[in-house]
Amino acid sequence: MSQEGKSSKGLDLKAVIALQEKRVFPEFEKNYDYYIVVFLSIVLAAFQIWTAGFGVLFALKQRVIHVSLLGALTFFLKSISSKVDFNEKGKKRVFFFDRIFAILILGCMVYLLWNYNDIQNRAGFPIKTDIIFGFMMVVLLLEMTRRAVGWALPIIAFCFLLYAYTGPYLPEIIGHRGYDIERIVSQMYLTTEGIFGVPAGVSATFIYMFILFGAFLEKSGGGIFFIKLAYALTGRMVGGPAKASVFASGFMGSISGSAVANTVTTGAFTIPLMKSVGFEPHFAGAVEASASSGGQLMPPVMGAAAFIMAVFTNIPYKFIIIGAATPAILYYFAIFISVHFRAKSMGLKAAKSSDLPNLTEVLKEGWHHIFSLIVLVVLLLMDITPLRAAYWGTITIVLACGIRKSTRMSLKSIYEALLLAGRNTITVCAACACAGIVVGVVTLTGIGLKFATLIEILSGGNLILALMFTMVASLILGMGLPTSACYIVLAVLAAPVMTHLGFPLLASHLFIFYFGIISAITPPVALAAYAGAGIAGANPFKTATTALSLDLSAFIIPYWFIFNSGLLLKGSLSSIIFSIFIATIGIISLSSMTQGYFLKHLNSAERMIGGFITFCLLMLNLKWRLAGILLFTMVIIYQKILVKKELARKNAVV
């Protein structure tokens, strides 16, 4: 049987290829709306590639062009309501007001660019026309964001705008002098401290180019290659399909930047495969949701948040991805070992070799796809800017695929990659621009310092309590938000709390980022888990709680690295090795407790011991940690003795 046509119990590559090769805008009939969308996508791609290769424009100009072009695309691609998405032929409906909205947001762009010099000359003294176009831009952006990412972020942004206006009427602890509509609108539209602030700037430069890199990787067949590689490497292990899903979803999630989008995309074939080898539907959905969420934590892309983090913290990008690498690996190790324990407890067997891609054949067919990733990482570590690294990485994809005639990218695939990049950037751009409203209001009113003061008061100066309050705030603020917006909101509100308490800057930002990301699988608003449940045909809440049990270590890892800089690869080599060793043992203990299996099934008392070992390893005192290591060693010896006795008893019966 060929690798392209597996049975239902094998890797269904036809399903994977169908996902990769579908038309970029399949919902459109080829009418004038379709050609407008194509034209806008190509103009956007040309603008972004030109500025990446030959130098970006002044900040305000670069950002307004980026946001406005994607805003116009949004109004064509995203309907005002899901109830009116398609006509009776199953094709996309574009209404008259959608076109008007697109024209208006482009009009806001033209007005700002046309009057750019005058606006700069009268900085701080906007005229009536400035305010009219600015007010229109704010309203259109809120609607654009609602269509692209849902209600949560626009509501948060609107509440912040309301806060800026109603400051004098609020309690003293969070109140301020208040600002009129003209001042708020000018801050949001005419400066780089609002809609066109740092988040939009990162979207307009780094993020778009990395999404373009991902689009070229997908259209060149790189996505299929890495999925096949994951299955070839792990498919022969016990519970192999679920373990392969962990790797494949992690890789794709890092580039896609959206836990929900990645769950529904890769989950379309990984979840049925996991179910086919014996995993329960809710467990299959939970594995996919957990792995897809973790993609945002995995360097080098980290769902685009790493670029924003570099700007917010002024820490060079390469140091962020180096520091984030070990916690991300530990996160995936936790899911991997949990899957292993679950598969062993269920008595599952490894998949048949005939049902899996052959590693040698996979590497022979697609080894050239690795070049672009090597170029990307090497350039980033050489202190080349992420913008240029992604630019050259994308060019490398085209050149590497051109080595062989059979893998060469056609003009059609390049054209489709350019269109796909525009489509995939919509969500991130809307989130970044709308989050810019939050940042602008925080800058204007100083609410960030007030938020930090409030947590300090509630914690009474206790570091652990302060961390726990920050964790809860990060989980709540991150619920329902896409990766980039989630980090931006937390960076301006929660991160100052951490640094004010004396924690290192990078550790503080990674701490709040971790909890913002895992909000996607934390009930009650576990969007990624609910998406996985929909594909798996499972109970949504049960899927979310299962994902939470798989990812319970993710709630512990940030506490480890906030107090152990060795996990961020800082300090002496011995301290780094010891920190990783402690965290690894803790993850194994915690995962065995949640899954009820280690070398054999665990009873209630043994599961409690596993939890106690993790608790010991969390302590900063060396005696506690050594006690945890000793107890873990004793558990291994005890379990091995029981397994040996059980095996001897079975052999005696036979």
DSSP 317-371: HHHHHHHHHHHHHHHHHHHHHHHHHHHHHHT--BPPGGGS--HHHHHHHHTTHHH
pLDDT band per the 50, 70, 90 thresholds, residue 111: very high
Supply the pLDDT for residue 353: 67
Q: Half-sphere exposure of 583 toward its Cβ, with a 13 Å CA cutoff?
A: 31
Largest CA distance in the chain: 93
Range scoring the smallest mean pLDDT among 104-113, 222-231, 637-646:
222-231
Whether residue 385 is found in the same domain as residue 429: yes
Whether residue 405 is found in the same domain as residue 522: yes
CA 87 from centroid of its chain's CA atoms: 33
In this structure, are residues 543 and 527 in contact, taking their beta carbons and an 8 Å threshold? no
Q: Where are the alpha helices (DSSP H) in 125-219?
A: 128-149, 152-166, 181-189, 198-202, 208-219
Query: Does 7 fall in a domain?
Result: no
Query: Does 73 fall in a domain?
Result: yes
189 pLDDT higher than 70 = yes
- Tell me which DSSP letter residue 571 carries: S
Whether residue 357 is found in the same domain as residue 323: yes
Domain count, the chain: 3
Whether residue 508 is found in the same domain as residue 577: no
Supply the pLDDT for residue 10: 47
Whether residue 585 is found in the same domain as residue 598: no
Query: Does 534 fall in a domain?
Result: yes
577 pLDDT higher than 60 = yes
Query: Does 430 fall in a domain?
Result: yes
Supply the pLDDT for residue 9: 41
**What is the Rg, in whole angstroms, of the alpha carbon atoms belonging to the chain?**
25
Whether residue 548 is found in the same domain as residue 585: no
What mean pLDDT is predicted for residues 241-247? 75
**What's the CA gap between 301 and 214, in Å, rounded?**
10
Whether residue 130 is found in the same domain as residue 219: no
- Tally Cβ neighbours within 10 Å of residue 650: 9
Choose one of 194, 212, 247: the last residue of a domain: 194
Whether residue 469 is found in the same domain as residue 364: yes
> What predicted TM-score, i.e. pTM, was given to this entire model?
0.75
Whether residue 36 is found in the same domain as residue 160: yes
606 pLDDT higher than 70 = yes
3-state helix, strand, coil in the chain (%, to 5): 75, 0, 20
281 upstream amide cis, omega within 30 of 0: no
Whether residue 155 is found in the same domain as residue 101: yes
Residue 415's alpha-carbon distances to 45, 72, 421, in angstroms, are 10, 20, 10
What mean pLDDT is predicted for residues 406-434? 87
Query: Does 296 fall in a domain?
Result: yes
Choose one of 194, 219, 237: the last residue of a domain: 194
376 pLDDT higher than 60 = yes
Query: Does 363 fall in a domain?
Result: yes
> Which of 221, 161, 204 minimizes the C-alpha distance to 68?
204
In this structure, are residues 262 and 249 in contact, taking their beta carbons and an 8 Å threshold? yes
Range scoring the smallest mean pLDDT among 43-47, 132-136, 325-329, 487-491:
487-491
Query: Does 562 fall in a domain?
Result: no
> Which of 291, 297, 256 minimizes the C-alpha distance to 274?
291
Whether residue 398 is found in the same domain as residue 511: yes
User: Which domain covers residue 643, as residue numbers?
Assistant: 571-592+603-654
Phi, psi of 597, rounded to the nearest 5 degrees? -155, 140
pLDDT band per the 50, 70, 90 thresholds, residue 143: very high
Whether residue 549 is found in the same domain as residue 620: no
**What's the CA gap between 30 and 592, in Å, rounded?**
55
Choose one of 168, 194, 220: the last residue of a domain: 194
Query: Does 380 fall in a domain?
Result: yes
What residues contact residue 395 under an 8 Å CB cut-off, 6+ apart? none
Supply the pLDDT for residue 261: 66
